């Protein structure tokens, strides 16, 4: 976990450095007082100092031995692993695919496929229940939100 | 009109059929969200914001507030039946609640939790009525310097409670503030950090970020874990003895006080009052060895403090415009989405709305008691929903919630990105609450600071000339001074009182 914390803190340090540089390019003051760059610039500088501080604190800490949880799960690992990793990636990939397809296929078709695919990927097997859930979670939800709640949802290029 | 008169008018409105329906729907949806493992009140409230888009602001806030305290109660059910807290505040309830369930007393545990939550919620709302309006009147005298100092103090208190994780919490606060800087400069209106992306002109959406960090990240963590088994129990069977009622009544009274007082302090978070109430009961008990083995007063204390805190935390939001926790920050975001700025001016400009919402807290607590005692068996059955359907169902709402605010898929990508980031940060033990609070307070902090400096001609000495601002800015110094001592004390307490 220490290695993961170092990487994450390093990335935040980079983020603060970029923010400080980008803020520096904005006016820090103008004739009325502080300009648009003033607050983010100083915040980013404080962030740089804190990130360096956290890096030092993390490096100074003794490395912990990997801890095995009661069910044999390694709690020190950061990225998904074991049988759960497939479920993890299924969720991320399904969400990304839905976000990419929504404007082309529209909410109803995208969510019909999304619901069915995700339910199957997460271990559901009763086809009639999957079909019912997918239909309710796409066409049903679309009707509920657009007709009853007046919330606009994407309609694709095919008008569905 | 005095507070009582305003409150009576508020009751007249809150008891109208529309608002009563919104409060009922909010309680049901909130309990549902709280029951589902892996979805806390912050994610639940954020996910359900879209269903309030076309309600009038009063109705929307009534519904979202009901979702909030419904979720706080719903978390109890999973704590008792599967030893998995539905939200952070229910962690302490697991200790004795799950033991009671294993002894076949799940019905009693859930009943005392519902009664304690009701008493805590009602008494805290009475105290809110007494405290909120005078505090708002006082805050009306604040200038931008005081508001800036207040927001800094609020953020520092959140950071202070991160314990050994103080450096990480401070860094997360700054990251939250920097993300909040994206979009139009709140003073001059100049675009910043948008890089020609039209979707960033209004800033990075608060709702997609919260949904990502709390909703998607929670699901990703749940997806990795193994399924937990629910304890089968007769949930309608209560068998509390006279002695247990007596012990619970004391725990409920003390839990109410602890929850409300800690709710007033920005940044305390909901787990601290429940933990403190539990520890106090254990210390006061003649038989502390019963705690951890199914002591009913342990459940009563934690649940009462939890709900009392939830209502008490509305005081800084409504009176000062300062959110105390991520869920309250989401509620504040909902106020802003509906064109309202919580704080002292809201009491002055929209007393009808404020007092109707406060009256709805009373109504909501009564509704929760009515709904939860007889319906607890129904809620428990929801725990049997297979993860595949649960996950897909929650993600449908996450997608709609992210998309519908600005009608752009960009926000769905933002949600997904922050979901993965939230998953990693939680695994690495980086606290997310400071970033969320900084995200919502960032633009207001910047505006207050810059206005203050414009008034003073750029001199920071103005903070030394204003005693209230100076006193509020002293809080961060105190937090930093105690940071080396308190986490150890807290850790020792935790070790000795909770195994």
pLDDT at A96 over 90: yes
In a domain, A156, yes or no: no
Shortest Cα distance from A137 to chain B (angstroms)?
7
Cα nearest neighbour of B186 on chain A: A36
Average pLDDT of the residues in A32-57: 94
Q: What does residue A74 show for φ and ψ, rounded to 5 degrees?
A: -80, 110
Residue A151 confidence (pLDDT): 86
**How many angstroms separate the Cα of B76 from the Cα of each of B14, B40, B212, B289?**
27, 11, 24, 23
Beta bridge partners of B183: B192
pLDDT at A88 over 90: yes
- A54 and A98 share a domain? no
Q: For residues A139 and A98, state if they share a domain.
A: yes
What residue numbers bound the domain in which B305 lies?
A: 3-497
Structural tokens at position B321: 């415009």
- Long-range pairs of B457-464 with CB within 8 A, sequence gap ≥ 24: B457/A33, B458/A29, B458/A33, B458/A34, B462/B145, B463/B145, B463/B149
Which pLDDT score is estimated for A70?
Answer: 45
Interchain contact, B416 vs A46, CB within 8 Å: no
- The verdict on residue A52 lying in a domain is yes
* Per-residue pLDDT reduced to its tens digit, A43-55: 999 999 999 999 9
Residues 180 through 209 of chain B touching chain A, CB cutoff 8 Å = 181, 185, 187-188, 190, 192-193
> Residue A91: its chain B contacts at CB < 8 A?
216, 219-220, 223, 391, 395
Contact across the interface for B220 and A92, Cβ inside 8 Å:
yes
Q: What ipTM was estimated for this complex?
A: 0.92
B431 neighbourhood in chain A, CB within 8 Å: none
Residue A76 domain flag: no
pLDDT at residue B232, as a whole number: 60
Mean predicted confidence (pLDDT) in A59-87: 67
How many domains is chain B built from? Answer: 1
A97 and A129 in a single domain? The answer is: yes
Alpha-carbon gap, residue B191 to B211, rounded angstroms: 25
Residues A44 and A99 in one domain: no
The total number of structural domains that make up chain A = 2
Cα separation, B363 vs B349, whole angstroms: 24
CB contact under 8 A, B392 and A133: yes
Measure B184 CA to nearest chain A CA, in Å. 9
Instruction: Assess whether pLDDT exceeds 50 at residue A23.
Output: yes
**Under a CB-based contact definition with an 8 Å cutoff, are residues B280 and B499 in contact?**
no
Q: Same structural domain for residues A143 and A90?
A: yes
* Chain A residues within an 8 Å CB radius of B178: 15-16, 19, 40, 43-44, 47
Task: State the nearest Cα–Cα gap between A159 and chain B, in angstroms.
Answer: 17
Q: What is the pLDDT of residue B44?
A: 81
pLDDT of residue A72: 43
- Whether residues A8 and A52 share a domain: the answer is yes
Low-confidence ranges of chain B (pLDDT < 70): 1, 37-38, 86-88, 160-164, 226-239, 266-269, 480, 483-499
- List, as ranges, residues 12-71 from A with C-beta within 8 Å of B: 12, 15-16, 19, 22-23, 26, 29-30, 32-40, 43-44, 46-47, 50-51, 53-54, 57, 71
Domain containing A48: what range? 2-60
In a domain, A12, yes or no: yes
pTM for the structure as a whole: 0.86
Could you tell me if A149 and B50 are in contact, meaning their C-beta atoms sit under 8 angstroms apart? yes
**Does residue A71 form part of some domain?**
no
Q: Does the residue A70 lie in any domain?
A: no
């Amino acid at each position: 976990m220490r290695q993961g914390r170092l990487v994450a803190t390093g990335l935040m340090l980079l983020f603060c450095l970029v923010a400080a540089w980008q803020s520096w390019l904005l006016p820090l003051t103008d004739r009325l007082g502080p300009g648009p760059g003033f607050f983010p610039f100083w915040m980013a500088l404080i962030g740089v100092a804190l990130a360096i501080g956290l890096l030092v604190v993390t490096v100074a800490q003794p490395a912990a031995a990997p801890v095995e949880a009661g069910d044999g799960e390694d709690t020190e690992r950061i990225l998904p692993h074991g049988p759960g990793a497939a479920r993890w990636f299924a969720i991320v990939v399904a969400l990304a695919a839905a976000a990419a397809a929504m404007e082309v296929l529209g909410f109803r078709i995208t969510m019909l496929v999304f619901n069915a695919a995700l339910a199957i990927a997460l271990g559901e097997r009763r086809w009639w229940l999957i079909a019912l859930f997918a239909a309710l979670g796409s066409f049903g939800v679309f009707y509920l939100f657009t007709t009853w709640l007046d919330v606009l949802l994407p309609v694709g290029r095919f008008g569905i | 009109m005095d507070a009582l008169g305003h409150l009576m008018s508020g009751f007249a409105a809150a008891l109208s059929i529309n608002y009563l329906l919104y409060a009922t729907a909010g309680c049901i949806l909130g309990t549902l969200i709280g029951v589902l493992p892996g979805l806390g009140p912050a994610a639940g409230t954020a996910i359900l914001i879209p269903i309030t888009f076309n309600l009038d602001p009063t109705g929307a806030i009534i519904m979202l507030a009901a979702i909030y305290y419904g979720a706080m109660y719903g978390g109890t059910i999973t704590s008792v039946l599967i030893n998995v807290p539905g939200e952070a505040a229910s962690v302490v309830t697991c200790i004795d609640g799950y033991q009671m369930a294993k002894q076949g007393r799940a019905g009693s545990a859930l009943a005392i939790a519902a009664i304690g939550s009701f008493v805590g919620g009602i008494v805290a709302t009475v105290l809110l009525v007494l405290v909120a309006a005078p505090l708002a009147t006082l805050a009306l005298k604040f200038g931008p310097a005081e508001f800036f100092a207040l927001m800094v103090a609020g953020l520092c208190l959140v950071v202070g409670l991160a314990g050994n994780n103080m450096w990480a919490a401070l860094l997360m606060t700054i990251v939250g503030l920097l993300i909040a800087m994206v979009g139009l400069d709140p003073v001059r209106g100049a675009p910043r950090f948008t890089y020609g992306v039209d979707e960033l002109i209004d800033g990075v959406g608060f709702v997609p970020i919260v949904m990502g960090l709390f909703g998607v990240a929670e699901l990703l963590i749940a997806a990795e874990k193994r399924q937990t088994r629910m304890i089968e129990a007769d949930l309608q069977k209560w068998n509390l003895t006279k002695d247990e009622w007596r012990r619970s009544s004391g725990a409920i009274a003390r839990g109410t006080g602890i929850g409300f007082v800690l709710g007033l302090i920005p940044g305390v978070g909901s787990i601290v009052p429940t933990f403190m109430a539990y520890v106090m009961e254990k210390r006061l008990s003649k038989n502390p060895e019963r705690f951890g083995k199914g002591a009913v007063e342990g459940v009563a204390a934690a649940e009462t403090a939890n709900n009392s805190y939830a209502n008490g935390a509305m005081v800084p939001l409504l009176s000062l415009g300062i959110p105390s926790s991520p869920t309250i920050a989401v509620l504040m975001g909902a106020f802003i989405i509906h064109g309202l700025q919580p704080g002292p001016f809201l009491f002055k400009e929209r007393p009808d709305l404020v007092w109707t919402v406060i009256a709805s807290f009373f109504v909501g607590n009564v509704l929760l008691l009515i709904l939860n005692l007889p319906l607890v068996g129904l809620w428990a059955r929801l725990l049997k929903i297979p993860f595949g359907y649960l996950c897909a169902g929650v993600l449908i709402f996450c997608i709609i919630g992210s998309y519908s605010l600005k009608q752009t898929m960009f926000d769905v990508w933002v949600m997904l990105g922050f979901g993965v980031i939230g998953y990693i940060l939680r695994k690495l033990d980086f606290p997310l609450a400071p970033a969320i609070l900084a995200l919502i307070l960032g633009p207001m902090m910047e505006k207050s600071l810059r206005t203050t400096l414009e008034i003073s001609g750029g001199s920071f000495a103005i903070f030394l000339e204003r005693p209230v601002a100076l006193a509020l800015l002293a809080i961060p110094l105190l937090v930093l001074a105690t940071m080396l001592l308190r986490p150890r004390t807290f850790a020792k307490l935790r070790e000795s009182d909770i195994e």
